[in-house]
Amino acid sequence: MEETTHYYKPSGKFSILALLTVPVLGSLAAGIGALIYSALIWYIPFIYINFFITLGFGFLLLMAVMPALRMARVRNLGVGFLLGLLVGALGVYLEWSVYCALLISAGETTEVGSGLRALSFTDTSFDLDLMLNVAVHPSVIWEIIKALYAEGSWGIFRITVSGIPLVLVWLVEAGIIAFLPALGAIGVASEPFSEKEGKWMKETKFKGRIAPDDAILNGISLLEQGRFDAIFDAARVSEDESGLGFVAYSDSRKEENYLTIQMHRIETTSDGKSKTTSADVVTNLKIAKIHLDRLAASLES
């Protein structure tokens, strides 16, 4: 396809080190995250807060996977995705192991409040040996899951959630935890890498912006041909205005360069605050050093 001649394309390479580094570092994050996540889920009886706790666990795994993939120099999207998914799945399994261990050690339940606003808190304790024993016996976890499916473990407005609705909640939680690191892994594997130098290219975010001219937005094919006049001739705007921003990736000698153009839209929210949203207009387009240097000079002037 012609696009491959104009845009960066990952080589698909990866090292055997990646198959060891990513799971090892990811498992450490998954273990620590599972302990924190399960404890918070246990003691915070608000499902809408638990959703953000789940997001936090997913992002923790993502933040562990991304540097591990960079260190292992993974440029294969499929391998990156599978490694990220492996770490995410491990996180799901470990948090279930911890949660089941907490259930086994559960003590008395105390109710606070009355009526629909009543809250229940169940005492428990964490036993590392018990958790590890549960983790190596998936059948124990499965039996507890079946019991929770039938009886439920939490409720809303005194209505115990069980059966299919509870399974749907579990699936959403598992999807967030498993797929956030997997999607982050794809992002890392897609970043420009210099095969000649054997390292990731340097990222440069230019400070200046230009007005979102139609000649640029509708002239992507001209940019692909190395014709950047529309960008050089466009009016400059400040960073507190909507406009096009630029991110460059280069090897140490600038022999290989790629340019990403982003649309930054600044809008005013209902409470009067400014909100910026960004989206790529062009991603990792090949650009010659002479054009990149001219762009940098024009934005800084």
More confident: 31 or 17: 31
Confidence of residue 159 (pLDDT cuts 50, 70, 90): low
Whether the predicted pLDDT of 16 surpasses 70: yes
Nearest C-alpha neighbor of 45 from the set 166, 160, 155: 155
pLDDT value at residue 67: 93
Tokens of 99: 């949660």
Which residues span the domain enclosing 75?
Answer: 3-191
pLDDT value at residue 48: 79
- Looking at the structure, tell me whether residues 187 and 248 fall in a common domain: no
Highest mean predicted confidence (pLDDT) among 116-120, 125-129, 228-232: 228-232
Q: In terms of pTM, does the model score above 0.75?
A: yes
pLDDT value at residue 276: 87
Average pLDDT, the chain: 87
- Looking at the structure, tell me whether residues 172 and 206 fall in a common domain: no
Q: For the segment 201-243, what is each residue's pLDDT rounded down to a tens digit? A: 999 999 888 888 777 877 788 888 888 888 888 888 888 888 9
Among the candidates 149, 173, 191, a domain finishes at: 191
Tokens of 292: 């990149």
- Looking at the structure, tell me whether residues 173 and 260 fall in a common domain: no
Tokens of 283: 């991603």
- Looking at the structure, tell me whether residues 275 and 164 fall in a common domain: no
The mean pLDDT of 237-251, rounded to a whole number, is 90
More confident: 85 or 277: 85
Alpha carbon distance 9, 76 (integer Å): 10
DSSP-assigned letters across all residues of the chain: -THHHHB--------HHHHHHHHHHHHHHHHHHHHHHHHHHHH---HHHHHHHHHHHHHHHHHHHHHHHHHTT---HHHHHHHHHHHHHHHHHHHHHHHHHHHHT---EEEES-GGG-EEEE-----HHHHHHHHT-HHHHHHHHHHHHHH-SEEETTEEE-HHHHHHHHHHHHHHHHHHHHHHHHHHHHS-EETTTTEEPEEEE-S-EE---HHHHT-HHHHHTT--HHHHHSPEE-TTS-EEEEEEEE-TTSSSEEEEEEEEEEEE-TTS-EEEEEEEEEEEEE--HHHHHHHHHHHH-
Domain count within the chain: 2
- Ranking 17-31, 50-64, 90-104, 115-129 by mean pLDDT, the lowest is 115-129
- Looking at the structure, tell me whether residues 86 and 160 fall in a common domain: yes
Q: For the segment 163-172, what is each residue's pLDDT rounded down to a tens digit? A: 888 899 899 9
The mean pLDDT of 264-291, rounded to a whole number, is 88
pLDDT value at residue 144: 92
- Looking at the structure, tell me whether residues 185 and 282 fall in a common domain: no
pLDDT value at residue 246: 94
Distances (CA, A) of 272 to 240, 265, 269: 15, 15, 5
Tokens of 258: 């790629």
Among the candidates 156, 191, 226, a domain finishes at: 191
| φ, ψ (nearest 5 deg) of residue 58 | -60, -40
pLDDT value at residue 1: 37
pLDDT value at residue 120: 52
- Looking at the structure, tell me whether residues 237 and 166 fall in a common domain: no
Among the candidates 191, 224, 258, a domain finishes at: 191
Cβ-contact 202, 249 below 8 angstroms? yes
pLDDT value at residue 80: 95
Nearest C-alpha neighbor of 184 from the set 35, 51, 63: 63
Confidence of residue 116 (pLDDT cuts 50, 70, 90): very low
pLDDT value at residue 142: 95
- Looking at the structure, tell me whether residues 203 and 187 fall in a common domain: no
Q: For the segment 50-89, what is each residue's pLDDT rounded down to a tens digit? A: 899 999 999 999 999 999 999 999 999 999 999 999 999 9
Alpha carbon distance 222, 245 (integer Å): 18
- Looking at the structure, tell me whether residues 35 and 158 fall in a common domain: yes
Q: Tell me which residue has tokens 């460059």.
A: 248
pLDDT value at residue 118: 46
Whether the predicted pLDDT of 114 surpasses 70: no
**Torsion region of 78: left, alpha or beta (phi above 0 gives left; psi -120 to 50 gives alpha):** alpha
